[in-house]
C-alpha cells in the first residue's frame, strides 16, 4: 500500500508558525536548519526523529500548511491499536528538518542526539484538509513509511496534549517496534553510533538504545 503517493500538491513554506522554532535556537551553535522560504512539491512528508535530549522521546512530524507540525511522543509510536500514546504538541519545524540527523550541542535547546528513525509520506483520510482537521482536534491519516504504515489517528485531549493511535488494519501488531527496529532508516546507526561519529555524548546517547539481546528476543516473539 502506498496511499500517500496519490496525493500530490505544490506548496510554499510559510514563515508563519516558525517564529517560536527560530527564537529557541542559536544557529551559530546548532547544526539544525534555520527557517527559509522553500518550495515543496510532491506527496506530503512525515518523519519520526528519535531524540535523546533530557529524556528519550520520539518527535512525530507531519508536513501541513508549509511546515512540519510536530509532537513529542515520550514512548514512541505503537503498532498496537489498544495503546494510546501521549503526544505533546511542540513548535512547528521547517520542512528541511525532516532530514536532520546528528548532534544538537549540550546547552542548546533540545541538546542531545537526533536520529531519523522513520520517514516517508502521508495523506489525510477521506481527503480532509489537514490544517483544518488539526485545528478541530482530530486527524485521521495514512502513513507510508519504512517502519510505520497504514491508518492512524491523532486526537487532541486538551491544550497541547494529543493521543497518537494506530487503527486496526493489516499493519497493526503487538510488536514493540521501538525495540525491534531501533536503528536509523537513513544510516542504519544507533543513537550511540551517531553521537560517536559527530563527537557527542556517547554514554548519554547509548541510554536511548535498547539492549541488543532484548531487541533480538522481542523480534522473535
| pLDDT confidence of residue 38 | 67
Among residues 109, 122, 35, which one has the least CA distance to residue 77? 122
pLDDT band at residue 37 using 50, 70 and 90 as cut-offs: low
User: What per-residue string of b and e applies to 51-69 under the rule 16 or more CB within 10 Å gives b?
Assistant: bbbeebbbbbbbbbbbbbb
Summarize pLDDT for 106-126 with one digit per residue, the tens.
Answer: 999 999 999 999 999 999 998
State how far the Cα of 93 lies from the Cα of 201, in Å rounded to an integer: 24
Read off the pTM.
Answer: 0.88
Summarize pLDDT for 100-109 with one digit per residue, the tens.
Answer: 999 999 999 9
Instruction: Please say if the pLDDT value at position 213 is more than 90.
Output: no
Amino acid at each position: 500500500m502506498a496511499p500517500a503517493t496519490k496525493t500530490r500538491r505544490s506548496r510554499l513554506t510559510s514563515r508563519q508558525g516558525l517564529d517560536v522554532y527560530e527564537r529557541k535556537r542559536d544557529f551559530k551553535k546548532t547544526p539544525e536548519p534555520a527557517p527559509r522560504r522553500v518550495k515543496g512539491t510532491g506527496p506530503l512528508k512525515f518523519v519520526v526523529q528519535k531524540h535523546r535530549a533530557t529524556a528519550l522521546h520520539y518527535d512525530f512530524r507531519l508536513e501541513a500548511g508549509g511546515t512540519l507540525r510536530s509532537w513529542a511522543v515520550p514512548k514512541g509510536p505503537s503498532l498496537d491499536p489498544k495503546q494510546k500514546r501521549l503526544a505533546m504538541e511542540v513548535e512547528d519545524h521547517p520542512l528541511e528538518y525532516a532530514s536532520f540527523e546528528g548532534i544538537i550541542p549540550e546547552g542548546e535547546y533540545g541538546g542531545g542526539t537526533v536520529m531519523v528513525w522513520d520517514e516517508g509520506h502521508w495523506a489525510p483520510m477521506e481527503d480532509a484538509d489537514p490544517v483544518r482537521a488539526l485545528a478541530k482536534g482530530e486527524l485521521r491519516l495514512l502513513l507510508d513509511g519504512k517502519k510505520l504504515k497504514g491508518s492512524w489517528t491523532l486526537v487532541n485531549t486538551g491544550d497541547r496534549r494529543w493521543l497518537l493511535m494506530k487503527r486496526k488494519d493489516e499493519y497493526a501488531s503487538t510488536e514493540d517496534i521501538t525495540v525491534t527496529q531501533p536503528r536509523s532508516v537513513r544510516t542504519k546507526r544507533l543513537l550511540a553510533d551517531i553521537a560517536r561519529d559527530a563527537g557527542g555524548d556517547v554514554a548519554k546517547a547509548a541510554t536511548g538504545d535498547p539492549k541488543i539481546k532484548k531487541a533480538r528476543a522481542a523480534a522473535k516473539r
